[in-house]
């Protein structure tokens, strides 16, 4: 039994990491009161930028900053039109997704069909990786995987244990009150949006340089949207994002596992599992409207004209 | 030092409402020319290849209408919901379902068919799209699940359903394992204009499916601008509090918006599989459902605006194909322009509600 669960858990964890990265970034953005639906677009440009960085010989050291820079750049386009120009955040997020998908498909043409010359491979931690069940899952990840766990801790700490985190959360609840207390609402929101872009870029980097080790059009295949759903599922709390992402990784991994042991299931049915699971968890969590109302940042998605 | 600031207008500017799309198109054009120059192309030649050559003959015009027609149809449906702030962004999936339902009839009655087949397919397609959208409507109305995420997730499922069908039960046995269905019989295809002896259209692919759109435009206008339901939807979007106070049934709004947009997207799906494609295949992903979101926004959620916007968007598609053939640039460039256009439009929209005021920066004063 444990023999089959060990690889299952390991692949669930591996599939969960990019979701955690993207969803954590979006969580911070939404906690500041901004809804950025452009996650998928930012992930795609991040993925392409990191792949291009390694393809041109920059190595892994270049891949990470390239991905983050691309994500931030995309996020700033969104930030400018929503925060400075007061555009509708839903529509702006969609436009970012369309633009990111288009730009990455256009510029990425030349990289299709190549294998990444460098990639983030598993780095087992001595001793710890030998722990049954948990060892191969949590102590035999790639560098990006470990970084994800560190970022998870750091984000939680920032949001709940620092003054800046408190300021960010209060802006998400009531920008008017926060403004009257002297907080620079839009400056904080810009910073949050940039952070969300950097994290989405990293998530893209994970897909291009750690998981698939290649580039193709639409590489992230809707995972940006799944990450958005995760934030709702987690009722805007970081640790629950991680739990939700592991559940999702588990669903996908289970599908792959079924196929591996030779169960006759259509690959298309398996491929649609994560999407159906997303719908299911959204329904479960949203059915209790009080739950969402209690936890969602009050000013989420509402523009704020910072007249200063 | 001059400092620009935004000052809220007392009333939204009507002039800017019309000017913003024009401004956005102009900005996209400027950036587009710059991109061509950056790629080492002569921008003016590229401009001609992209925007002029594709529509310089009758065949080009017919292709333009063939692309604009489904875009317009979907956008009309979406506008109904968007006005009520119900964001169905899964029109792409609803379009696939329309295509699937119509294809089912076309295959099942491949041998034994009559003139009734095509109308039946049209109805089935609209039903298919509406059915797929009704899942989102049900989950939103009963369980408050976010319609943006649900409708989008279902689009991925619809895409996989198309693939499952054309790789599996619906695959043409004579297609050498290509993921395509049998070509539809004549009874399952929209008749070509050329086949009616309209000499003008000799050799073009334009077909009767555009009449679906021609009929939908005035209907959509009547519904959105002149019906009580259309009014209720608009109030729900503009002032949700007022709508609740007036007792407008919230759930019914959700259902209406999603069923209408789903049916419209389904019709667009039929007009594709029973039109230019003539079968169902796995490469059929024109992204019309997503582009239609831009069409609806650019057309200001107004029936006639949407007609103009759909023609422009169709031109972007044709231009993308043309530069791919003539200048060997990836076709995705049209998607880049689409994204830019929407982003510029949203940015320019600031001028509707705000005016820009320039005033010298005064040092030493609190902002």
Nearest Cα residue in chain A from B361 = A308
The two three-digit tokens of residue B320, written as one number: 């993308």
Nearest Cα residue in chain A from B298 = A91
The two three-digit tokens of residue A79, written as one number: 């930030």
* Mean pLDDT in residue range B206-228: 94
pLDDT for A181 equals: 92
Nearest Cα residue in chain B from A274 = B153
Q: With contacts defined as CB-CB under 8 Å, which chain A residues touch B349?
A: 85, 87-88
For B336, which of A87, A94, A102 is closest by C-beta distance?
A102
pLDDT for B269 equals: 96
Give how far B339 is from chain A: nearest CA, Å: 4
> Would you place residue B361 in the very low, low, confident or very high pLDDT band (cuts 50, 70, 90)?
low
pLDDT of residue B6 exceeding 70, the answer is yes
| Site from A40, A86, A112, A301 to mutate, B interface, most B CB atoms within 10 angstroms | A86
Whether this model's ipTM surpasses 0.95 comes out as: no
Distance CA B184, CA B365 (A): 74
Going by C-alpha positions, the residue among B232, B241, B267, B253 that lies closest to residue B95 is: B267
Distance CA B57, CA B73 (A): 24
Q: With contacts defined as CB-CB under 8 Å, which chain B residues touch A83?
A: none
C-beta neighbour count of A184 within 10 angstroms: 16
Helix A2-31 with A223-233: angle, nearest 10 deg: 80
Question: What CA–CA distances, in Å, run from A243 to A16, A230, A232, B126, B264?
Answer: 9, 9, 13, 40, 39
* Mean pLDDT in residue range A264-283: 89
The two three-digit tokens of residue B130, written as one number: 């509406």
Do the chains contact at A86 and B293, CB–CB below 8 Å? no
* Mean pLDDT in residue range A122-139: 84
Burial readout B41-76 (b: 16 or more C-beta within 10 A, e: otherwise) = bebeebbebbbebbbeeebbbbbbbbbbbbbbbbbb
Angle CA(B134)–CA(B78)–CA(B259) in degrees, nearest 5? Answer: 25
Going by C-alpha positions, the residue among B173, B147, B20, B152 that lies closest to residue B91 is: B152
C-alpha torsion sign, points B26, B32, B34, B37: negative
pLDDT for A61 equals: 92
For A278, which of B149, B330, B338 is closest by C-beta distance?
B149
pLDDT for B115 equals: 87
B129 sits in the region (left: phi over 0; alpha: psi -120 to 50; else beta) called alpha
pLDDT of residue A242 exceeding 60, the answer is yes
Question: What CA–CA distances, in Å, run from A40 to A36, A207, A220, A259, B236?
Answer: 10, 12, 7, 28, 29
| Site from B39, B154, B343, B344 to mutate, A interface, most A CB atoms within 10 angstroms | B343
For B339, which of A102, A272, A283 is closest by C-beta distance?
A102
CB of B159 within 8 A of CB of B285?
yes
Nearest Cα residue in chain A from B290 = A98
Do the chains contact at B149 and A103, CB–CB below 8 Å? no
Do the chains contact at A279 and B154, CB–CB below 8 Å? yes
Question: Domains of chain B, with CATH numbers?
Answer: 42-328 (1.10.3470)
Nearest Cα residue in chain B from A82 = B347
Do the chains contact at B150 and A282, CB–CB below 8 Å? yes
Q: With contacts defined as CB-CB under 8 Å, which chain A residues touch B160?
A: 268-269, 271-272
pLDDT tens column, A81-121:
999 999 999 999 999 999 999 999 999 999 999 999 989 98
pLDDT for A294 equals: 87
pLDDT tens column, B306-342:
999 999 999 999 999 898 888 888 888 989 999 999 9
Question: What CA–CA distances, in Å, run from B96 to A48, B135, B160?
Answer: 28, 15, 10
Distance CA A248, CA A281 (A): 10
Do the chains contact at B145 and A286, CB–CB below 8 Å? yes
Which pTM does this prediction carry?
0.93
Distance CA B268, CA B264 (A): 6
pLDDT of residue B191 exceeding 80, the answer is yes
Which helix (H) or strand (E) segment holds residue B123: the answer is helix B117-143
For A109, which of B164, B330, B337 is closest by C-beta distance?
B330
> Would you place residue B367 in the very low, low, confident or very high pLDDT band (cuts 50, 70, 90)?
very low
For B350, which of A37, A87, A286 is closest by C-beta distance?
A87
Q: With contacts defined as CB-CB under 8 Å, which chain B residues touch A272?
A: 156-157, 160-161
The two three-digit tokens of residue B225, written as one number: 């601008």
Question: Domains of chain A, with CATH numbers?
Answer: 2-295 (1.10.3470)
Question: What CA–CA distances, in Å, run from B9 to A283, B146, B298, B354, B355?
Answer: 40, 32, 22, 5, 6
The secondary structure of residue A144, as a DSSP letter, is H
pLDDT tens column, A37-77:
999 999 999 999 999 999 999 889 999 999 999 999 999 99
Do the chains contact at A87 and B349, CB–CB below 8 Å? yes
pLDDT for A7 equals: 85
């Amino acid at each position: 039994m444990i023999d089959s669960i060990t690889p299952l858990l390991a692949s669930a964890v591996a599939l969960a990491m990019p979701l955690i990265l993207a969803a954590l970034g979006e969580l911070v953005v939404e906690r500041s009161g901004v809804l950025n639906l452009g996650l998928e677009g930012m992930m795609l440009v991040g993925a392409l930028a990191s792949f291009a960085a390694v393809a041109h010989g920059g190595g892994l050291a270049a891949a990470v900053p390239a991905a983050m820079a691309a994500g931030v750049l995309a996020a700033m386009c969104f930030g400018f039109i929503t925060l400075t120009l007061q555009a509708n955040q839903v529509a702006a997020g969609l436009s970012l997704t369309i633009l990111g998908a288009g730009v990455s498909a256009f510029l990425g043409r030349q990289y299709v069909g190549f294998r990444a010359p460098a990639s983030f491979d598993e780095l087992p931690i001595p001793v710890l990786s030998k722990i049954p069940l948990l060892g191969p899952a949590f102590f035999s990840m790639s560098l990006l995987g470990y970084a994800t766990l560190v970022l998870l801790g750091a984000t939680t700490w920032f949001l709940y244990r620092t003054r800046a985190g408190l300021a960010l959360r209060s802006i998400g609840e009531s920008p008017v009150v926060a403004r009257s207390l002297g907080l620079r609402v839009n400056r904080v929101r810009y910073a949050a949006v940039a952070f969300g872009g950097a994290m989405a870029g990293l998530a893209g980097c994970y897909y291009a340089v750690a998981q698939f080790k290649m580039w193709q059009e639409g590489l992230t295949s809707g995972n940006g949207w799944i990450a958005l759903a995760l934030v709702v599922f987690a009722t805007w709390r970081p640790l629950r994002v991680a739990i939700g992402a592991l559940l999702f990784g588990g669903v996908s991994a289970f599908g792959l596992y079924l196929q591996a042991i030779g169960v006759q299931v259509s690959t298309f049915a398996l491929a649609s599992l994560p999407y159906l699971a997303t719908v299911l968890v959204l329904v479960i969590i949203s059915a209790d409207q009080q739950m969402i109302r209690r936890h969602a940042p009050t000013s989420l998605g509402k523009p704020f004209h910072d007249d200063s | 030092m001059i400092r620009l600031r935004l000052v809220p207008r007392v009333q939204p500017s009507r002039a800017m409402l019309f000017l913003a799309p024009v401004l956005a198109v102009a900005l996209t054009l400027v950036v587009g020319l710059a991109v061509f120059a950056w790629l080492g192309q002569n921008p003016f030649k590229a401009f001609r290849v992209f925007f002029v050559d594709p529509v310089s003959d009758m065949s080009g015009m017919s292709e333009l209408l063939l692309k604009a027609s489904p875009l317009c149809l979907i956008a009309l449906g979406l506008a109904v919901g968007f006005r009520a702030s119900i964001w169905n962004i899964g029109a792409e999936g609803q379009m696939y379902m329309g295509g699937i339902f119509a294809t089912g009839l076309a295959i099942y009655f491949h041998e034994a068919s009559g003139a009734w087949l095509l109308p039946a397919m049209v109805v089935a397609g609209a039903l298919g799209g509406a059915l797929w959208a009704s899942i989102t409507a049900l989950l939103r109305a009963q369980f408050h699940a976010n319609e943006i995420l649900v409708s989008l997730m279902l689009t991925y499922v619809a895409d996989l359903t198309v693939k499952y069908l054309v790789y599996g039960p619906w695959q043409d046995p004579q297609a050498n394992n290509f993921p395509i269905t049998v070509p539809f019989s004549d009874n399952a295809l929209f008749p070509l204009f050329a086949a009616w002896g309209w000499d003008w259209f000799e050799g073009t692919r334009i077909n009767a499916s555009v009449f679906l759109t021609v009929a939908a435009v005035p209907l959509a206008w009547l519904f959105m601008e002149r019906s009580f339901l259309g009014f209720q939807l608009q109030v729900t979007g503009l002032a949700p509090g007022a709508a609740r106070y007036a007792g407008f049934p919230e759930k019914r709004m959700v259902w209406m918006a999603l069923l209408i947009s789903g049916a419209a997207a389904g019709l667009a799906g039929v007009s594709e599989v029973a039109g230019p494609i003539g079968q169902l295949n796995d490469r059929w992903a024109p992204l019309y459902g997503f582009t239609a979101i831009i069409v609806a926004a650019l057309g200001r959620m107004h029936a006639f605006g949407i007609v103009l916007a759909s023609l422009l968007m169709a031109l972007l598609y044709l231009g993308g194909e043309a530069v791919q053939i003539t200048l060997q640039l990836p076709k995705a460039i049209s998607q880049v322009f689409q994204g830019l256009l929407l982003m510029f439009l949203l940015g320019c929209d600031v001028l509707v509600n705000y005016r820009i005021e320039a005033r010298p920066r005064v040092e030493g004063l609190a902002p």
